[in-house]
Amino acid sequence: MAKEPAMGLTFEQIWALFQETDRKMQETDRKMQETDRKMQETDRKIQEMVEENRRISQETDRKIQETFDKTNLILDKRFKQTHKEIGALSNRVGEIVEHLMSPKLHKQFRSLGYRFENMSRDYEIYDSADRHLVEVDVFLENGDYALAVEVKSKPSQNDVDGHVKRLELLRGWADRRHDRRKFLGALAGAVIKAEVRDYAFKRGFFVIEQSGETIEVGKPPAPWEPRVW
């Protein structure tokens, strides 16, 4: 039996294949161009994001610096104000002490039955080993009584409790020296809250308050007796 002749491609078929291949190559080129365009667009957006982040970072740094500068300014003002207030309080304490050292205080306590002959400021006491034991802002004394005055611009209940401990130390010091005088306590202040005043009276202290250009020994609630150490 005779063999059938091999089937070849016609010119039209080959031309069609070339056209299809060219079309696919053009489509691939188009897609590559589209991909490149998208990559460029992505690069542009990334660059914009970088620039935006840099701008935000710089703006944030600027605001932080402004806040820091403002905070420093506020703190500096507050520090100066606090320093001024502390100075004013120190002056008030100095004024109270000056008033306490005046003869008017002697007269007020004389009307209460106490004749103090000596008055000392910043009265310091040391033990037998020359160790500092206690310091009293203002110390009034005679042969029978000694009055220790604690001076604060604005005393608190803690100051009252601290002064109780101070009187206990004074009593112990006096006993070791066979000093039989009676020790009394007083709290002095430029501004004394009502609850602190009442608490001082309750602990047995005289209360001395600044009143205008002078000082006054406050009138305790009746019945009241000063505590004796």
Query: What is the model's pLDDT at position 6?
Result: 46
Q: Is the pTM of this model over 0.85?
A: no
The last residue of a domain, from among 41, 66, 97: 97
CA pair distance 112, 189, nearest whole angstrom: 20
Q: Is residue 5 part of a domain?
A: no
Q: Is residue 7 part of a domain?
A: no
Q: Which residue has the higher pLDDT, 18 or 206?
A: 206
Query: What is the model's pLDDT at position 49?
Result: 85
Residues 92 and 107 in one domain: no
Query: What is the model's pLDDT at position 88?
Result: 47
Residue range(s) defining the domain that contains residue 24? 13-97
- CA-based angle 181:105:90, to the nearest 5? 105
Amino acid at 74: I
Query: What is the model's pLDDT at position 98?
Result: 66
Q: Is residue 112 part of a domain?
A: yes
Residues 92 and 115 in one domain: no
Q: Is residue 41 part of a domain?
A: yes
Distance of CA 61 to the CA centre of its chain: 27
Residues 176 and 200 in one domain: yes
Query: To which H or E segment does residue 194 belong?
Result: helix 194-202
Residues 60 and 147 in one domain: no
Report pLDDT digits (tens) over 81-117.
544 444 444 456 656 776 676 678 888 899 999 999 9
- 78, pLDDT greater than 70: no
The last residue of a domain, from among 34, 68, 97: 97
Residues 114 and 192 in one domain: yes
Mean pLDDT for 163-176 is 96
Q: Is residue 8 part of a domain?
A: no
CB-count burial class (<10 Å; 0-12, 13-18, 19+) for 150 = buried
Residues 146 and 172 in one domain: yes
Query: What is the model's pLDDT at position 81?
Result: 56
Q: Which CATH number characterizes residue 129's domain? A: 3.40.91.50
Residues 37 and 57 in one domain: yes
Residues 137 and 114 in one domain: yes
Residue 14: pLDDT band with limits 50, 70, 90: confident
Q: Is residue 229 part of a domain?
A: no
Mean pLDDT for 56-83 is 74
Say how many domains are in the chain: 2
